[in-house]
């Protein structure tokens, strides 16, 4: 299994959480989100974002409103719904746990092995 | 110079090259068809369209007036191909089903979709871009979206099993056409035949020879050409031979039907060994002839077609057509071969009966059962005299074999008057006649008629129950001098011939054997 594949699997898993994080404090439209995700090297092809946004919206985690744009067509600005905020809290906790677990495994494993 | 059109994308106008427009159109259509199944699919595609409009707008701001195909290609790689986008969502929606039945169903569905997706829109061709022999396996690999090495290994493996793999390979190589035109190459890869794609293939093909013309490549292609040329020549010869065979068979069939049945002219039914079948079962003969002609004609047609298509005069046959011809040929062979054996059997029967069989029950003017008649006719026995006989043959109690039929005459009151004789053409010399006989009472004799008649009485059967030989005794007549060219021998209970009164209720004889024991005694 090559490293790129593993990385992309990780990114895919994280994508949902990252999108919700980005929308936590200010509403954004798709291209904004794409730009930020690209900066964070989380997105390889832009198109994957659209099905994700639509799904989150249909699940009631996101809501959007149309805004006119000076340059280009009108934009959909996405924001977290109440439900989305709760969902994000849940993900936050999960992430903390996950991150702790990873750290624990990274630091503790060698000592554990030595003690045996 | 390129034709340019204006499109309206999300309420904004853009100048775009025609080929770029076609590519874009196709991209959006394929997105629609792959997202169309899932919930909110149209919305997703609309959003993507908006994104494309935005990207076009960005280009315009950079001072680009007309959007070219290169721009569209960049955008497509940026946003991603339909399969890259749908794959992800499909994975996520899958875990919804908890019920294992549902999971099993969705697993089945997944396999089905997997197979369909892999072969979707593709046509099976031999792949000229990556081939070791004829490109069959890499063609299959492209079709099923798998690695050719799997198929190659499988083929090698099966070739080790009595060459099955090689055989299948050759059949497939003949059945599957090679992708030659850019159009076929696109169909092989499952791409749509669009001007853009065609152009890509042409460009790629132009690059190809530069990359792959190594010395080995040249050598291999040279060898391949020699092999192909060789195949063409051989096929032409085979085709020609088959054609001649076909003509002869046709002439023979026509002549055979016209000529009288028992003529000895070549091409008559009897000289070809078909008379028996003609008499016994004309239907079988008809089916055999049709199957036989198909066996000849199909290869003629196939080889001619192949040679013509190799020289580029006509289009090669489609896969389905080839399969149909091959199946038809196999069926014809499987019909003709067993029928051939049946016909050979009929012929043997015909030869041994020498005359047209009939259903009457008289033999040489004497009324008897059909078995008796067939036996006497088969043995070539001439009835000199046959009076008061209940039957002429019998079955059983000979050498432990109850199925052997032998000559056997019977009359309750010992009144049978019977003499049967067989003639054989021989060279002059001294002969010995041997046979097995049994008789219930005195009188019956065997005899040999060379230069003179030699008689020998049959030893009387001693009625001892449980005798393993059932009363059979081997008898012989020695020193039969034959100076002519034939000898006659047989059995007789005729008093005027044997000089003995017949006192036997029955007598039997079989296994007559004539051997030459010496030359004629020299005359002094």
Query: pLDDT of B27-60, one tens digit each?
Result: 888 888 888 777 778 888 888 888 888 888 888 8
Q: A68-97: string of b/e by CB count within 10 Å (b at 16+)?
A: eeeebbebbbbebbeebeebbeebeeeeee
Strands B66-67 and B12-17: parallel
pLDDT band (50, 70, 90) for residue B89: very low
Which range of B81-90, B346-355, B415-424 scores highest in mean pLDDT? It is B415-424
Tell whether the torsion through CA atoms of A7, A13, A19 and A21 is positive or negative: negative
Is residue B416 scored above 80 in pLDDT? yes
Is residue B92 scored above 60 in pLDDT? no
Phi, psi of B388 (to 5 degrees): 60, 30
- Given a contact cutoff of 8 angstroms between Cβ atoms, the answer to whether B363 and B373 are in contact is yes
B34 and chain A: CB distance < 8 Å anywhere? no
Is residue A1 scored above 70 in pLDDT? no
- Given a contact cutoff of 8 angstroms between Cβ atoms, the answer to whether B390 and B414 are in contact is no
Are B85 and A47 in contact (CB < 8 Å)?
yes
pLDDT at B335 (0 to 100): 92
B7 and chain A: CB distance < 8 Å anywhere? no
Instruction: Provide the CATH number for the domain formed by A3-115 in this structure.
Output: 1.10.10.10
Are A51 and B51 in contact (CB < 8 Å)?
no
| DSSP secondary structure string for all residues of B26-93 | HHHHHHHHHHTTSTTHHHHHHHHHHHHHHHHHHHHHTT--EE-HHHHHHHHHHH--HHHHHHHHHHHH
- Which residue in B462, B458, B460 sits closest to B444, CA to CA? B458
Question: What is the value of ipTM here, to two decimals?
Answer: 0.81
B13 and chain A: CB distance < 8 Å anywhere? no
- Given a contact cutoff of 8 angstroms between Cβ atoms, the answer to whether B292 and B249 are in contact is yes
Region(s) of chain B under CATH 2.60.120.260: 364-518
Closest Cα in chain B to A56: B40
How far apart, in Å, are the Cα atoms of B321 and each of B324, B325, B422? 5, 6, 62
Are B11 and A54 in contact (CB < 8 Å)?
no
With 0-12 CB in 10 A as exposed, 13-18 as middle and 19+ as buried, what is B510?
Answer: buried
- Which residues partner with B445 through β-bridges? B457, B492
pLDDT band (50, 70, 90) for residue A97: very high
Chain B residues inside the 8 Å CB shell of A73: 10-12, 50, 53-54
Is residue B87 scored above 70 in pLDDT? no
Written as six digits, the tokens of B499 are: 């000089």
Written as six digits, the tokens of B375 are: 């036996």
Residue B388's contacts (CB-CB under 8 Å, 6 or more residues apart) are B411, B415, B416, B417
Query: pLDDT of B150-182, one tens digit each?
Result: 888 888 888 887 778 887 888 788 778 888 777
Q: For residues A62 and B191, which has the higher predicted lDDT (pLDDT)?
A: A62
d(CA B170, CA B45): 47
Query: pLDDT of B472-517, one tens digit each?
Result: 888 999 999 998 889 999 999 998 888 888 888 889 999 899 999 9
Q: What is the mean pLDDT of residues B66-70?
A: 88
Closest by Cβ to A72, choosing from B44, B54, B88: B54
Neighbours of B466 (CB within 10 A): 5
Measure B80 CA to nearest chain A CA, in Å: 5
Q: What is the mean pLDDT of residues B302-314?
A: 76
Chain A residues inside the 8 Å CB shell of B77: 45
Closest by Cβ to A72, choosing from B57, B81, B85: B57
Measure A83 CA to nearest chain B CA, in Å: 20
| DSSP secondary structure string for all residues of B413-449 | TS--EEEEEEEEE--SEEEEEEEEEEESSS--EEEEE
Q: For residues B276 and A93, which has the higher predicted lDDT (pLDDT)?
A: A93
How far apart, in Å, are the Cα atoms of B29 and each of B1, B20, B34, B78, B201? 27, 14, 9, 17, 22
Interface residue of A37, A71, A72, A77 to substitute, partner B, most B CBs within 10 Å: A72
d(CA B126, CA B180): 9
State the pTM of this model.
0.35
d(CA B154, CA A3): 30
Closest Cα in chain A to B28: A47
Are A52 and B89 in contact (CB < 8 Å)?
yes
Q: For residues A8 and B464, which has the higher predicted lDDT (pLDDT)?
A: A8
Are B51 and A46 in contact (CB < 8 Å)?
yes
pLDDT at B94 (0 to 100): 42
Closest by Cβ to A47, choosing from B10, B38, B80: B80
Chain B residues inside the 8 Å CB shell of A51: 35, 38, 44, 85-86, 88-89
d(CA B172, CA B260): 48
Are A51 and B44 in contact (CB < 8 Å)?
yes
Q: For residues B463 and B8, which has the higher predicted lDDT (pLDDT)?
A: B8
B77 and chain A: CB distance < 8 Å anywhere? yes
Question: Within 13 Å and on the Cβ side, how many CA atoms surround B91?
Answer: 10
Is residue B211 scored above 70 in pLDDT? no
Query: pLDDT of A74-92, one tens digit each?
Result: 888 899 899 989 999 999 9
Q: For residues B402 and B385, which has the higher predicted lDDT (pLDDT)?
A: B385
Fold of the domain built from segment(s) B364-518 = Jelly Rolls (2.60.120)
d(CA B9, CA B50): 8
- Given a contact cutoff of 8 angstroms between Cβ atoms, the answer to whether B125 and B136 are in contact is no
A14 and chain B: CB distance < 8 Å anywhere? no
| DSSP secondary structure string for all residues of B244-294 | HHHHHHHHHHHHHHHS-TT--STTSTTTTT-HHHHHH-HHHHHHHHHHHHH
Q: For residues A32 and A116, which has the higher predicted lDDT (pLDDT)?
A: A32
B59 and chain A: CB distance < 8 Å anywhere? no
Are A50 and B57 in contact (CB < 8 Å)?
no
Closest Cα in chain A to B61: A71
């Amino acid at each position: 299994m090559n490293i790129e594949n593993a990385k992309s699997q990780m990114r895919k898993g994280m994508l949902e959480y990252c999108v919700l994080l980005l929308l936590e404090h200010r509403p954004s439209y798709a291209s904004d989100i794409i730009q930020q995700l690209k900066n964070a090297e989380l997105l390889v092809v832009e198109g994957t974002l659209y099905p994700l946004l639509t799904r989150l919206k249909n699940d009631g985690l996101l809501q959007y409103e149309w805004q006119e744009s000076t340059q280009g067509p009108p934009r959909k600005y996405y924001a977290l719904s109440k439900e989305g905020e709760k969902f994000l809290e849940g993900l936050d906790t999960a992430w903390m746990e996950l991150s702790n677990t990873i750290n624990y495994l990274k630091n503790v494993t060698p000592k554990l092995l030595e003690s045996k | 110079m390129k034709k340019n059109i204006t499109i309206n994308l999300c309420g904004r106008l853009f100048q775009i090259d025609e080929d770029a427009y076609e590519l874009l159109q196709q991209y959006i259509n394929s997105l629609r068809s792959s997202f169309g199944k899932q919930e909110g699919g149209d919305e997703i595609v609309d959003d993507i369209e908006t994104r494309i409009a935005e990207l076009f707008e960005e280009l315009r701001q950079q001072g680009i007036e007309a959007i070219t195909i290169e721009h569209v290609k960049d955008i497509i790689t940026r946003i991603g191909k339909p399969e890259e986008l749908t794959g992800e969502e499909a994975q996520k929606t899958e875990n919804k089903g908890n019920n294992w039945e549902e999971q099993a169903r969705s697993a089945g569905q997944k396999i089905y979709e997997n197979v369909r997706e892999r072969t979707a829109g593709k046509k099976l061709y031999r792949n000229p871009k990556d081939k070791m022999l004829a490109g069959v396996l890499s063609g299959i690999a492209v079709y099923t979206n798998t690695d050719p090495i799997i198929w190659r290994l499988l083929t090698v493996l099966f070739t080790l099993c009595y060459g099955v793999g090689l055989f299948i390979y050759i059949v497939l190589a003949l059945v599957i056409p090679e992708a030659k035109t850019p159009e076929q190459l696109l169909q092989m890869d499952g791409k749509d035949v669009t001007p853009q794609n065609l152009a890509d293939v042409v460009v790629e093909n132009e690059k190809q020879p530069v990359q792959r013309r190594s010395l080995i490549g040249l050598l291999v292609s040279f060898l391949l050409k020699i092999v192909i040329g060789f195949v063409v020549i051989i096929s032409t010869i085979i085709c020609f031979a088959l054609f001649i065979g076909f003509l002869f068979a046709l002439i023979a069939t026509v002549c055979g039907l016209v000529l009288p049945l028992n003529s000895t002219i070549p091409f008559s039914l009897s000289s070809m060994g078909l008379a028996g079948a003609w008499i016994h079962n004309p239907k079988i003969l008809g089916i055999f002839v049709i199957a036989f002609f198909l066996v000849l004609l199909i290869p003629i047609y196939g080889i001619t077609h192949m040679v013509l298509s190799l020289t580029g005069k006509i289009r090669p046959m489609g896969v389905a057509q080839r399969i149909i011809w091959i199946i038809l040929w196999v069926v014809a062979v499987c019909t003709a071969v067993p029928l051939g054996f049946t016909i050979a059997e009929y012929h043997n029967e015909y030869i041994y009966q020498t005359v047209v069989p009939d259903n009457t029950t008289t033999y040489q003017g004497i009324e008897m059962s059909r078995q008796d008649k067939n036996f006497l006719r088969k043995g070539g026995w001439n009835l000199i005299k046959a009076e008061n006989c209940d039957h002429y043959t019998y079955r059983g109690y000979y050498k432990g074999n109850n199925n052997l039929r032998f000559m056997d005459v019977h009359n309750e009151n010992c009144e049978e008057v019977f003499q049967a004789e067989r003639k054989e053409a021989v060279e002059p010399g001294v002969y010995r006649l041997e046979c097995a006989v049994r008789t219930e009472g005195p009188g019956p004799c065997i005899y040999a008629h060379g230069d003179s008649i030699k008689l020998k009485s049959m030893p009387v059967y001693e009625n001892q129950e449980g005798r393993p030989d059932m009363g059979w005794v081997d008898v012989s007549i020695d020193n039969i001098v034959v100076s002519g060219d034939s000898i006659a021998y047989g059995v007789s209970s005729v008093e005027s011939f044997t000089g003995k009164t017949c006192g036997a209720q029955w007598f039997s004889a079989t296994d007559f054997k004539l051997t030459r024991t010496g030359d004629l005694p020299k005359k002094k």
